[in-house]
Structure 1
Amino acid sequence: MTNTNVRIEFDSNAVRNAVKKSSPKPLSRAGAYIRKSARNAVSRSKNSSSPGSPPYTRRGLLKRSILFGVERQRMTVVIGPAESFIGISMTAHEFGGIYRRRKYPKRPLMGPTLQKVAPQLPKLWEDSVKP
């Protein structure tokens, strides 16, 4: 019987640096994927959507206002309707509440979209970290 010694070295700093180096691209892919799914969930109609379903857009402004941005320093991606386009009205739709003296029922868009696409997100990071 022979004795075999095995020594494993793990350089955690190298792994962290490889992840930091590759993360903006997969984050950008994830942001674009979630944005597209959210835009596809919004339909055009002159009427209001039923409570519990995504809000409708009359002229398409809501669809165009859904943007994403990658924050490289924090390694995060922010996705949602831009306040500069539509103000704070989407807060009343997403969570329910009062906007301009009108009460809005909950018509969530971003939360359900994230839950719907969450199983596909790990695939976007596949093969992204290289030594």
Structure 2
Amino acid sequence: MIVSFRDKGAFFDRQAIIDAVGAANARNLSKAGSFVRRGARSSLRRRKKPSTPGSPPSVHTNHPVATLKSIWFVLDRSRLSVVIGPVRLNGRSLLGSVRGTVPELMELGGSATLEKRKKRRRVRYSPRPFMGPALQRELPKFEGLWANSVK
């Protein structure tokens, strides 16, 4: 009596299953990125006065692109993760700042040099986080995303 184990269809590592899990994972990561982006955008308010330190920053422009509300999310398939954050614009760089961009300076705080009428002065910024709190608010929604997602 000869017994053979050539039936690979019963194993879990079939390419169809791997592809289905990968597609479901990409779909769910994209949904998670969308939730966080929406939460961060809704926390940014348009008003003329500056926000209080510790609360999300105020948005002072109606420009469709050059604003803190331009938040994107991108699926990084090589790392199986989502990158979410404000769009980096090719505007002025921050002089003398440890933080490279305005969104970084808003989120984490720090100091930068402002130039106005050819005079420079050092200004300290209090942190006004908006991405971190948005992620914390949306985390409970992530639990159910992967349940029954492979079909």
TM interval, shorter chain, is 0.7 to 0.9
The structure showing larger relative contact order (alpha-carbon pairs under 8 Å, at least 6 residues apart) is 1
Backbone CA RMSD of aligned residues: 2.1
Between the aligned partners of 2:18 and 2:140, the Cα distance in structure 1 is 24
- Kindly name which structure, 1 or 2, has the bigger radius of gyration based on alpha carbons: 2
1:58 aligns with 2:60: yes
Q: 1:67 aligns to what SS in structure 2?
A: strand
1:114 aligns with 2:116: no
Match of 1:90 in 2: 103
Match of 2:117 in 1: none
Runs of 4+, deviation exceeding 3 Å: 13-18
Q: TM-score, normalised by structure 1?
A: 0.80
Q: Which runs of 5+ in 2 are unaligned?
A: 1-9, 94-100, 114-121
Q: TM-score, normalised by structure 2?
A: 0.70
State the shift of 1:72 in Å.
1.5
How many pairs were matched up? 120
Amino acid aligned to 2:89:
S
Identity, % of aligned pairs? 40
Q: Which runs of 5+ in 1 are unaligned?
A: 1-8
Deviations 1:37-78 (A, max 9, x none): 100000011111000100010014111x21111111211101
Amino acid aligned to 2:68:
L
